Amino acid sequence: MPNSPQPPAPGAPAPPDVTSSDAALRRFLHGLPGVDAVGLEARAASLGTRSVKAEAKAYAIDLAISMIDLTTLEGADTPGKVRALCAKGCHPDPTDRGTPQVAAVCVYPDMAATAREALAASGGAALRVASVATAFPAGRASLAVKLADTREAVAAGADEIDMVIDRGAFLAGRYLQVFEEIRAVKEACARPDGGAAHLKVIFETGELATYDNIRRASWLGMLAGADFIKTSTGKVAVNATLPNTLLMLEAVRDFHAGTGTRVGVKPAGGIRNTKDAMKYLVVVGETAGADWLSPDWFRFGASSLLNDLLMQRQKLRTGHYSGPDYVTVD
């Protein structure tokens, strides 16, 4: 069949007309190499057994702390809770001011202004305010509502926007609709000063059903201008997993090789302890490379993870575990 689209080689740039129509975008996404599920899971499991040597563990713990988007996304969130979270993000361990700050504090749009003010008051001006938008977590709203949600968060001081894609449209094969929605949200991230909030695009991988869909969603998000691609909202049964994250890291690596554009990755939901965080750092280094081992290009969407990292850090510093009562509980 001479007219059949040929799957692009890993790292190959997208054809220039790939987003010119729904049909062209579908041809490109379905032309991506299929995912070897057995091989992917075996590779993730193998990397997950790697140990971080004792001399590197302290560095890795500090790196993981600096990559955390410290998050509260509950209906019962209050300004007081957000202020406390911001104080913790600025000074994770009040007994050791050498503890690095987290990367960002992630809140709902109506709490973005509170977070911005609290970070300034706590000495965390360098911390970013991340805000979920676009009718998070379900994404079931009109585009006008999603764009208003985004603009409200940016106007309130959000440095980063975590948006959710329309999974229904994606699973129905309406790829251009999803692409155009991401592009519109990206434009809504613009600030009056000429800058723009960074855009993290959430796929909700637990709802995409197949690894092939996760690969397609990754390329779709990157083609549309995502600054980060993110596994999940943390609000469904299956959130971040090592295989899903490995697959997305392969996608950003290949996209960078083919286009020169670097995109970050953020696994979110279910990463609760230091052992798990170390596995993810190994996967990042072995898959995308050392350049991605930075909060500029890799984040953990988490809340309870920080507590365990702090306890492990205190163990390395003092020789004994202080226990959970000696770290603040979110």
Average pLDDT over residues 256-284: 95
CA-to-CA dists, residue 108 to 111, 120, 155, 161, angstroms: 5, 18, 13, 10
In this prediction, residue 279 carries a pLDDT of 96
Q: Which residue has the tokens 């009562």?
A: 325
> Amino acid identity, residue 57?
K
In this prediction, residue 12 carries a pLDDT of 53
Let me know: does 265 contact 244? Beta carbons within 8 Å: no
What tens digit of pLDDT does each residue of 33-68 get? 999 999 999 999 999 998 887 779 999 999 999 999
Q: Which residue has the tokens 């280094």?
A: 285
pLDDT confidence band for 312 (50 / 70 / 90): very high
Q: Where are the domains of the chain?
A: 56-319
Let me know: does 133 contact 162? Beta carbons within 8 Å: yes
What tens digit of pLDDT does each residue of 61-106 get? 999 999 999 999 999 999 999 999 999 999 999 989 899 999 999 9
Q: What angle do CA 288, 293, 295 make, to 5 degrees?
A: 125
Q: Does residue 230 carry a catalytic annotation?
A: yes
* Residue in 69, 159, 162, 166 annotated catalytic: 162
Give SS3 for 214: helix
b/e code 165-182 from CB counts within 10 Å (16+ = b): bbbebbeeebbbbbbebb
Average pLDDT over residues 292-306: 95
In this prediction, residue 4 carries a pLDDT of 35
In this prediction, residue 9 carries a pLDDT of 53
In this prediction, residue 2 carries a pLDDT of 35
Query: 283: alpha, beta or left, given left = phi > 0 and alpha = psi -120 to 50?
Result: alpha
Architecture of domain 56-319: Alpha-Beta Barrel (3.20)
For the cut 80, the answer to whether the pLDDT of residue 11 exceeds it is no
What tens digit of pLDDT does each residue of 224-260 get? 999 999 999 999 988 999 999 999 999 999 999 999 9
* Residue in 230, 276, 279, 308 annotated catalytic: 230
For the cut 60, the answer to whether the pLDDT of residue 1 exceeds it is no
The model's pTM is: 0.92
* Residue in 186, 200, 266, 279 annotated catalytic: 266
Strand partners, 106: 71, 130
Q: Does residue 212 carry a catalytic annotation?
A: no
> What is the distance between the alpha carbons of residues 222 and 158, in angstroms, rounded to a whole number?
21
In this prediction, residue 6 carries a pLDDT of 41
Strand order in the sheet with 228-230: 264-266, 228-230, 198-202, 160-164, 128-132, 104-107, 68-71, 300-302
What's the mean per-residue pLDDT of the chain?
A: 91
CA-to-CA dists, residue 301 to 21, 53, 66, 240, 268, angstroms: 34, 25, 12, 9, 4
328: buried, middle or exposed (CB in 10 Å: 19+, 13-18, 0-12)?
Answer: middle
Average pLDDT over residues 284-303: 96
CA-to-CA dists, residue 196 to 147, 154, 185, 188, 190, angstroms: 14, 8, 11, 9, 4
In this prediction, residue 330 carries a pLDDT of 46
Q: Does residue 266 carry a catalytic annotation?
A: yes
Q: Return the structure tokens found at 86.
A: 């911001």
